[in-house]
Amino acid sequence: MTVDTDWVSVKRQELIRKGKQQFNRSKYLEISENDHEASEELARSALKTLRSAMNWTEDTDEFEPTHQLLDQVGRFVRSTFGCHLLYEDGVYFQTCPVSLAHNRIGLSIGFVARKVECSICLKDPEDCPHITGRIYDGIICVRRIVDGEILDVSIVDRPRQPDTRFEKISLRTDSLRRSLPKEWKPGTPVSCDQCLTPCAGVVEHDFGHGSPNAEFTKAQINPELKFEGILAVEEEFDGSESSTWNPESNSK
């Protein structure tokens, strides 16, 4: 059966609904069942789900309510379970979905697609009857890149694939030192209290929709990155994004 529907709107609603369910279930487990471990796991999953929901609702009327819900879950997580910066190889990283979601930047790749197939019949899209974006028996028709070469990666304000975002951002030690006690030394656990303070709004960047602000050459890209399994829904493959590559970036 073929269904003509706005699958992007469906995905938005699914993410918002899932995030709310995870949050409500987490509160129930914490308050009624006293299951601290399971509650924390669900609550942190809700943060990731709602960050994705923010990405998919960007530039829509649903963005701000989703933003406020993410902030609410963030406050619950911080006040109930506590949050810390990631310390890895001598460097502190911000990995919190709430913090990262407030910085509205993403990634865009330039690439050459050598082989593309339909996600429904696995044939070349030029030789199949399926229409990109339509749902066939519950499966969304997309063009799947199965063989290609990445040429560059750019930082943009509105990635075509909404979830193509940074997963962690490094923090400068001297900046941390200015806000921590004098006796603090690198390697000591650092609590993240961002969600306990009033939200000042998201940070927007005027890169121009889809236009690059900074470019990573092919040599800087993880050599293990592959195109297998990457989905794209554009009618023409003149550029797209992959959420499988998450580079670190020094914050100023």
Q: Kindly list the averaged pLDDT for each block of 10 residues, start to end, along the chain of length 252.
A: 64 96 98 97 98 96 97 98 95 96 92 93 93 86 91 90 93 88 91 93 74 41 34 30 32 32
Q: Is the pTM of this model over 0.85?
A: no
Q: Give dist(CA 176, CA 170) in Å, integer.
A: 11
Say yes or no: 52 and 157 in one domain. Answer: no
Q: Report the distance separating Cα 19 and Cα 56, nearest Å.
A: 13
Point out the domain boundary residue: 34, 49, 82.
82
Q: Which range marks the domain in which residue 21 is found?
A: 1-82
Q: Which whole-number Å values give the CA distances from 35 to 26, 49, 80, in the listed order?
A: 9, 21, 12
CA-CA-CA-CA torsion sign (9, 159, 209, 194): positive
Is residue 62 domain-shared with residue 102, that is, in the same domain? Answer: no
State which of 29, 54, 82 marks the end of a domain. Answer: 82
Whether 202 and 136 map to the same domain: the answer is yes
Same domain, 120 and 38: no
Same domain, yes or no: 109 and 65: no
Same domain, 118 and 216: yes
54 and 91 in a single domain? The answer is no
Number of domains in the chain: 2
Residues 5 and 128 in one domain: no
Cα separation, 124 vs 127, in Å, equals: 5
Indicate the residue among 82, 97, 122 that finishes a domain.
82
β-strands 2-3, 135-136 pairing? antiparallel
- Cα 14 to Cα 23: distance, rounded to the nearest angstrom: 14
Do 78 and 104 have their domain in common? no
Same domain, residue pair 141 and 111: yes
pLDDT at residue 13, as a whole number: 95
pLDDT at residue number 208: 52
Determine whether 13 is exposed, middle or buried from the number of CB atoms within 10 Å of its CB (0-12, 13-18, 19+).
Answer: middle
Asked if 230 and 216 sit in the same domain, the reply is yes
For the chain, the farthest-separated pair of C-alpha atoms sits apart, in whole angstroms, at: 67
